Structure 1
């Protein structure tokens, strides 16, 4: 047993040493323990603590809180777009190497934004909108949190820039819509917004899939091919889940009306 513990500790130590040295001094990047704690706390609150606390309570409205949160998200994603646009002339979507240019800081701040995104689900629980906590919703948030931390820790920047840049634009539009619905509930009944937002999400993931496929097929690209091969199935699953949701929500249901 002691031998096994020593091996595990040695392996854990080596795993930390493999991380990009440029990320060492950033908060939450020293080890996976803080992010693991955040993730466990998030899941426990969503499925156990939150529903138990809210069991005998009326749903919170949280109108002003959510409006402020949506404005904050809009500001952060708009800033992400500005930063991404600044680097855009230096990059080629066909191949963005890990170290050219140095995108460690933008990658780190993008990871922090994925931590903030978890409040979406917290608000669902406090408003007792449990039906909105779907597999797609949870998969998306958990994948983005874990994926953004791992990529920032071990291979910041590079081809993932495309994902972050496109995602900031989509989230800017998405949180603008959420702000409108929190400001005036009449927007919730506008099917045009909901339908086109889902279409935008599908297009987003198709573009990201293409941005990973091109450097994979580009023999001169130095971005690690094994990483691209890991990204592709995850993005393909996102496309499937969003497309399945779109078909069920806006095609199948419409035919049954």
Structure 2
């Protein structure tokens, strides 16, 4: 029996987000002339926030559902995602919301 189907969702979604994220970083590392192609940084941050919301929903549901994945791990993922949400929301606010107010 496959014990960790809950981990599959998290790993699959996290892999997708990291492919997008490292594509952005790869283009940015090529040089300043690539800046015109990097307009989607704000959307990358939004994608990461959506990922954390989905992880929160998934791990929160698994805490109350009959799931073979250990509750301690679900709780750990939940708390970890809350901390990441706080950090990324702060980054989003500082990077994109404050800049609009300053202009």
* Offset from partner CA, 1:171-195 (integer Å, 9 cap, x none): 1111112222233523335563111
* Offset from partner CA, 1:72-108 (integer Å, 9 cap, x none): xxxxxxxxxxxxxxxxxxxxxxxxxxx516xxxxxxx
* Offset from partner CA, 1:156-212 (integer Å, 9 cap, x none): x44222221111101111111222223352333556311111111111111111111
Q: 1:206 to 1:158 in 2, by over 3 A?
A: same
Query: Are 1:206 and 2:61 counterparts?
Result: no
1:254, CA displacement in angstroms? 1.7
More helix by share: 2
Q: Is the 8 A contact 2:59 2:77 kept in 1?
A: yes
User: 1:194 — aligned with what?
Assistant: 41
Alpha-carbon RMSD: 2.0
1:233, CA displacement in angstroms? 1.0
CA distance in 2, matches of 1:226, 1:246: 30
Q: Where in structure 2 are there 5+ consecutive unaligned residues?
A: none
- Normalized against structure 2, the TM-score is what? 0.84
- Normalized against structure 1, the TM-score is what? 0.37
* Offset from partner CA, 1:123-146 (integer Å, 9 cap, x none): xxxxxxxxxxxxxxxxxxxxxxxx
Query: Are 1:165 and 2:12 counterparts?
Result: yes
User: 2:73 — aligned with what?
Assistant: 227
Q: 1:230 to 1:182 in 2, by over 3 A?
A: closer
Alignment of 1:14-163 (within 5 A): 99-100=1-2, 157-163=4-10
User: Which has the larger Rg?
Assistant: 1
Residue 192 of structure 1 aligns to a residue in which SS? coil
Q: Where in structure 1 are there 5+ consecutive unaligned residues?
A: 1-98, 102-156
CA distance in 1, matches of 2:13, 2:49: 12
CA distance in 1, matches of 2:16, 2:10: 10
User: 1:243 — aligned with what?
Assistant: 89
CA distance in 2, matches of 1:206, 1:196: 15
Residue 222 of structure 1 aligns to a residue in which SS? coil
